[in-house]
Structure 1
Amino acid sequence: MSQELIQAVMVLTKTKGFAPEVIFESLEAALLQAYRKEPSSNPDAYVELNRETGEYKVMAKKEVVEAVETPETQISLEDARQQSPRFEIGDVVEMNVTPANFGRSAAHTAKQMLIQRLKEAERSVVFEEYFSREGDIITGIIERVEGKNVYINLGKTEAILPPTEQIATETYREGDRIKCYIVEVKKTTKGPQIMISRTHPGLLKRLFELEVPEIFEGVVELKSVAREPGMRSKIAVYSRDENIDPVGACVGQKGQRVQHIVDELHDEKIDIVKWDEDPAIYIANSLSPAKVVSVDVNEEEKASRVVVPDYQLSLAIGKAGQNARLAAKLTNWKIDIKSETQAQEEPFEPYASGAGEA
């Protein structure tokens, strides 16, 4: 099977993307397994496969003895000296132990084993490729919807978008292109299992990295993300370069950059706020688009009390508390909000330390 074997290796190299050596090593292992099915096979045998000609032979080490008791692992001194007169009792001889009728049966067995090994190798290659991309964004095509799971075709394999990672307001149709976040990649007996998400905060972060060169280049830093998927999100951005407006960079000219992301997330509203090392300023910014009069903070408890103009109270809290809730997630601070009138009628008890004007 010499030249046919070499041609088959070349075809597999081109179509499957395997390195030729991977295929040759798999073939040697498959041939060795085929040999071990032979009666009286040597347990320490190995296969030598010529990478240029495709010729192979089964080799084994045998000990030189006076009287042969185990032919599979021993050779007589007389037989050994037919190979070289220098051999003595106790020496080890490497010799060709390829069975005479090994060719046809071995080729069939090796073919079946090779197919299995290549499937395993292909799965391993796919696993390594996607495992290294955990926490990254991928684009695929919706292949099918089974029950509540959505299966995404990634080209070499498919990924699962489970119901817990789907946006409730989205409809998933076969043939649609979709961007998702790789949450986890597992090895299974059927190949890699790739779990993806449309709700993960990391998806929003990666979308901004793709859309905003300043974030990708590190000029603008995305400090925090808070999402209520399909409804509204907030991101906090910062730049050490005073000449660069981090919020403006993310919004883009005429709002084009952020609009592309809003479109990708099917009209999920996105608030972009400026991060600040002063927690009072950061908390005030996080409540955007509401205006803030003052912020009182307790750094030990990571709690804050915010006063806003009367007409801004509903905006600061948001529908069903959404704006305040997202601001709290974004900053990782507790936020208690009152209007100016409420603060005058029922003033906050002052914290022991840490007050600031927003």
Structure 2
Amino acid sequence: MEKIGDFVLGRVVKALPDRDSYLILVNGTQPFAVLPKQYADRPYRVKDTISAAVYRLGEMYPVLSQRCPHYIRRISESILRPVLADGEVRIRRVATGLRSPFVKIAVESEEGVDPVRLCVPYGQSYASYTRLLVSFVRYSTDLGRFIRNALAPAPVDRIRRIDVFREEQMARVLVPAECKGYFLGKGGMNVALASKLTSMAIELGTEP
């Protein structure tokens, strides 16, 4: 465990109320790390085993997270190994939110192959590592198409127009007024994750 993004296994030693964190005894050379409760996807008790990724390097101990893109990518590399190993599927991007129960993973394949269809059968395996609900998104170098894909499970077939402004790193998506709530998602989480996944600030506009 030497750098940000490293995958770690460990055991909860004790809670740290003053830091609102757990002290983790890590398997390997680095003896201890901390897992802030806001970065944990469930409550833990002493002696519970955990897996996580290094989120940042703290002053005393590395800080772990089970909600960061690094962690989701690492477990995806394990879960999706059968389709990743032979190059059928490639993981391009991962988007998570601190308070979001969802995660979006952008995957791609060769032309004519649907990477989402190949990944979906492995979706239930994520429950062994995380309580986050995983959604696979088809990656595209066409930003308009990628944004459309990233906004699912909203009814993307109802999108009227997508205007992409590359220099400003933003896009305007025009949808029917009655559908806007679906595109926003609960608390705006769907459009927020889509923005993170595409690295574009997505603005939703409506028309009757």
Specify the TM-score bucket, using the shorter chain as the normaliser.
Answer: 0.7 to 0.9
**Structure 2 residue matching 1:204: 3-state secondary structure:** helix
Of the two structures, which has the highest relative contact order with CA contacts closer than 8 Å and spacing of 6 or more? 2
Aligned to 1:313: 180
Contact between 2:89 and 2:108, CA under 8 Å: does it hold in 1?
Answer: yes
Q: Distance in 2 between matches of 1:141 and 1:300?
A: 46
For this pair of structures, how many residues does the alignment match? Answer: 200
Alpha-carbon offset, residue 272 of structure 1: 1.3
Answer yes or no: is 1:249 the counterpart of 2:92.
no
Q: Return closer, same or farther for 1:294/1:205 CA change in 2, 3 Å cut-off.
A: same
User: How far 1:184 moved relative to its partner?
Assistant: 5.1
Residue type of the alignment partner of 2:172: R
TM-score calculated relative to the size of structure 1: 0.50
1:145 to 2:15 alignment: yes
CA distance in 1, matches of 2:152, 2:93: 15
* Distance (Å, rounded) in 2 between the aligned partners of 1:280 and 1:259: 30
How many angstroms does 1:217 deviate by? 4.7
Match of 1:265 among 127, 130, 144: 130
Aligned to 1:91: none
Counterparts of 1:322-337 in structure 2, within 5 Å, are 322-337=189-204
Distance 2:117 2:39 in 1: 30
How far apart are 1:154 and its partner, in Å?
Answer: 2.9
Q: What is the aligned counterpart of 2:93 among 224, 229, 240? A: 224
Aligned twin of 2:53:
181
- CA separation in 2, counterparts of 1:223 and 1:170? 27
Normalized per residue, the structure richer in strand is 2
TM-aligned CA distance change 1:262 to 1:316, over 3 Å: farther
In 2, the alpha carbon distance for the partners of 1:187 and 1:171 equals: 24
- SS of residue in 2 equivalent to 1:235: strand
Give the C-alpha shift of residue 283 in structure 1.
0.7
How big is the shift at 1:151? 2.1
Residues 222 and 235 of structure 1 are in contact (CA less than 8 Å); yes or no, is this contact kept in structure 2? Answer: yes
Any idea what the Cα deviations from partners look like across 1:90-135, whole Å, max 9, x if unmatched? Answer: xxxxxxxxxxxxxxxxxxxxxxxxxxxxxxxxxxxxxxxx32x652
How far apart are residue 270 of structure 1 and its match?
2.1
- Unaligned ranges ≥5, structure 1: 1-129, 342-358
C-alpha separation in 1, matches of 2:25 and 2:103: 28
Between the two proteins, what is the percent identity of the paired residues?
27
Residue 148 of structure 2 corresponds to residue 284 of structure 1: yes
Question: Which residue is equivalent to 2:63?
Answer: 195
2:36–2:63 contact (8 Å) kept in structure 1: no
Q: Secondary structure at the match of 2:112?
A: coil
Deviation at 1:327, TM superposition (A): 0.9
Give the drift of 1:212. Answer: 0.2
* Change in CA separation of 1:333 and 1:187 when aligned onto 2, cut-off 3 Å: closer
In the TM superposition, structure 1's runs of 4+ consecutive aligned residues that sit over 6 Å from their partners are 185-188
Aligned to 2:39: 166
Structure 2 CA distance, aligned partners of 1:295 and 1:274? 17
- Unaligned stretches of 5+ in structure 2? none
Give the superposition deviation at 1:300. 2.4
Q: Counterpart of 1:124?
A: none
The 5 Å alignment of 1:342-353 reads none
Cα pair distance change 1:183/1:166, threshold 3 Å: closer
Contact 2:175 2:207 in 1 (8 A): yes
- Show the 5 A alignment for 1:1-358: 130-131=1-2, 134-147=4-17, 148-156=20-28, 158-163=31-36, 166-167=39-40, 170-183=42-55, 193-213=61-81, 214-229=83-98, 231-243=101-113, 245-252=114-121, 257-266=122-131, 268-290=132-154, 291=156, 292-341=159-208
Q: Distance in 2 between matches of 1:261 and 1:158?
A: 27
Offset of residue 331 of structure 1: 0.6
Compared CA separation, residues 263 and 314, structure 1 to 2 (3 A):
farther
Higher helix proportion (structure 1 or 2):
1
Cα distance, 1:163 vs. partner? Answer: 2.1
Equivalent pair of 1:247/1:272 in contact (CA under 8 Å):
yes
Q: Could you tell me how far apart the structure 1 residues matched to 2:27 and 2:143 are? A: 46
Contact residue 176 and residue 207 of structure 2 kept, 8 A = yes
Letter in 2 for 1:145: A
Q: Which amino acid aligns with 2:54?
A: I
Between Structure 1 and Structure 2, whose CA radius of gyration is higher?
1
TM-aligned CA deviation for residue 246 of structure 1: 1.2
